[in-house]
Amino acid sequence: MFKRFSSVLDECLVALSRGDTVEQCLARYPRQARRLRPVLTLATRVQASPRVAPRVQAQEQSWRLVRERAHQLRTGSRRAATRTVVSAYGGLLKPAAVMLGAVLLVGSFSGGLAYASQDAMPDSPLYSVKLAGEDVRLWFVFDDTREAEILLDQSNQRVEEIRGMVSQGKTIPSNVLSDLHDRNERASDILAEKPQETGLRARILTQAQQQEDLLVALWPQVSDGARGTYTETVAFLHNTQLGGGSGAAVSAVRPEDLLGGILNISGQVQQLENGNWSIGGVEVNVDDRTIGNAALEAGASARFVVARSSNGRLQALSLIGGLLGSPDSGGSSAIVSGAIESITDEGITVGGTLYAFSSSTVRTQSFKTGQKVQITVQAGNAGNSPIVQSVKPAAVSGPSSAQVQAFTFEGTIEGDVSRSTNEWMIGGLEFQIADSTAVDATAGDAKDGARVQVEAINDGGDLQATRVSVLATDAPANEVSIIGKFEGFEDGVWIVAGLPIVPPDSIDDPELDALVSVETERVGNDLNATSLVVVETAEQEGLIRMQGTIKAIDGTRWTLEFGQVRVSSTAEVIGSEAGVGQRALMWSEPGVDGQLQAVYVRVLDDQSIVTSIIGNVTPTPEP
Partner 1 sequence: MRVAIWAPELTRSIEEPRPAGQPAANASANPAVQPKEEVLAEWELVRRAQQYDEDAIQAIYTTYYPKIYNYAFMQMGDVQAAEDLASDVMLKMIEAINTYKFQGLPFGAWVFRIARNRLIDLHRRRKRRGEVDLSETMSSALANPQVLAERALERGQIQVALKHLTPEQRQVIVLKFIEGFDNRSVGKILGRSEGAIKSLQHRALAALRRILQPDKI
Contact pattern from residue 12 through residue 41 relative to partner 1, giving x for each residue in contact according to CB under 8 A and a dash for the rest: -xxx-xx-x---x---x---------xx-x
Interhelix angle 56-74/78-88, rounded to 10 degrees, is: 70
Given a contact cutoff of 8 angstroms between Cβ atoms, the answer to whether 172 and 166 are in contact is yes
- Residue 237: which of 155, 126, 148 has the closest Cα? 155
**Residue number with CB closer to partner 1 (28 or 566):** 28
Subset of residues 57 to 116 that bind partner 1, contact rule: CB under 8 A: 58-59, 61-63, 65-67, 69-71, 73-74, 79, 83, 86-87, 94-95, 98, 101, 105
Burial class (CB in 10 A: 0-12, 13-18, 19+), 78: exposed
143 bridge partner residues: none
To partner 1, the closest distance from the beta carbon of 135 in angstroms equals 9
With CB under 8 A as the contact rule, the residue among 121, 126, 132, 552 that binds partner 1 is: 132
The one-character DSSP state at 265 is E
Rule CB under 8 A: say whether 576 interacts with partner 1: no
To partner 1, the closest distance from the beta carbon of 290 in angstroms equals 22
Choose one: 241-249, 452-460, 464-472, 548-556; the region binding partner 1 (CB under 8 A): 241-249
How far apart CA 17 and CA 390 sit, in angstroms, is 55
How far apart CA 603 and CA 116 sit, in angstroms, is 56
CB proximity list for 531: less than 8 A, separation 6 or greater: 507, 518, 519
How far apart CA 331 and CA 611 sit, in angstroms, is 11
**Residue number with CB closer to partner 1 (70 or 523):** 70
To partner 1, the closest distance from the beta carbon of 54 in angstroms equals 4
To partner 1, the closest distance from the beta carbon of 69 in angstroms equals 6
**Residue number with CB closer to partner 1 (77 or 384):** 77
Choose one: 54-62, 397-405, 475-483, 548-556; the region binding partner 1 (CB under 8 A): 54-62
Rule CB under 8 A: say whether 54 interacts with partner 1: yes
**Residue number with CB closer to partner 1 (237 or 560):** 237
How far apart CA 95 and CA 481 sit, in angstroms, is 79
Rule CB under 8 A: say whether 186 interacts with partner 1: yes
With CB under 8 A as the contact rule, the residue among 30, 31, 34, 46 that binds partner 1 is: 46
**Which CA distances in Å does 48 have to 15, 24, 42, 51, 128?**
16, 19, 10, 9, 39
To partner 1, the closest distance from the beta carbon of 287 in angstroms equals 19
353 bridge partner residues: 350
Please calculate the CA angle 62-64-69 and round it to the nearest 5 degrees.
Answer: 100
Given a contact cutoff of 8 angstroms between Cβ atoms, the answer to whether 479 and 442 are in contact is no
**Residue number with CB closer to partner 1 (50 or 623):** 50
- Interface with partner 1: number of residues (CB under 8 A): 66
Rule CB under 8 A: say whether 250 interacts with partner 1: no
To partner 1, the closest distance from the beta carbon of 32 in angstroms equals 12
How far apart CA 276 and CA 269 sit, in angstroms, is 10
How far apart CA 410 and CA 391 sit, in angstroms, is 25
How far apart CA 588 and CA 600 sit, in angstroms, is 7
**Residue number with CB closer to partner 1 (101 or 312):** 101
**Residue number with CB closer to partner 1 (128 or 171):** 128
- What values do phi and psi take at 428, rounded to 5? 85, -5
With CB under 8 A as the contact rule, the residue among 139, 295, 489, 568 that binds partner 1 is: 139
**Residue number with CB closer to partner 1 (87 or 360):** 87
Q: Which amino acid is at 378?
A: Q
**Residue number with CB closer to partner 1 (94 or 557):** 94
Rule CB under 8 A: say whether 9 interacts with partner 1: yes
How far apart CA 603 and CA 582 sit, in angstroms, is 7
**Residue number with CB closer to partner 1 (25 or 450):** 25
Rule CB under 8 A: say whether 122 interacts with partner 1: no
To partner 1, the closest distance from the beta carbon of 516 in angstroms equals 49
Element (H, E) at 47: helix 33-48
How far apart CA 239 and CA 181 sit, in angstroms, is 12
Choose one: 42-50, 356-364, 368-376, 567-575; the region binding partner 1 (CB under 8 A): 42-50
To partner 1, the closest distance from the beta carbon of 596 in angstroms equals 53
Choose one: 189-197, 286-294, 401-409, 507-515; the region binding partner 1 (CB under 8 A): 189-197
**Residue number with CB closer to partner 1 (142 or 328):** 142
How far apart CA 503 and CA 441 sit, in angstroms, is 33
Given a contact cutoff of 8 angstroms between Cβ atoms, the answer to whether 544 and 350 are in contact is yes
How far apart CA 477 and CA 471 sit, in angstroms, is 13
Rule CB under 8 A: say whether 56 interacts with partner 1: no
Per residue, what are the HEC states of 160-177?
HHHHHHHHCCCCECHHHH
Question: β-pairing, 353-363 with 347-350?
Answer: antiparallel
To partner 1, the closest distance from the beta carbon of 17 in angstroms equals 7
Binding site for partner 1 (CB under 8 A): 3, 5-7, 9-11, 13-15, 17-18, 20, 24, 28, 38-39, 41-43, 45-47, 49-55, 58-59, 61-63, 65-67, 69-71, 73-74, 79, 83, 86-87, 94-95, 98, 101, 105, 128, 132, 139, 142, 144, 185-186, 189-190, 192-193, 246-248
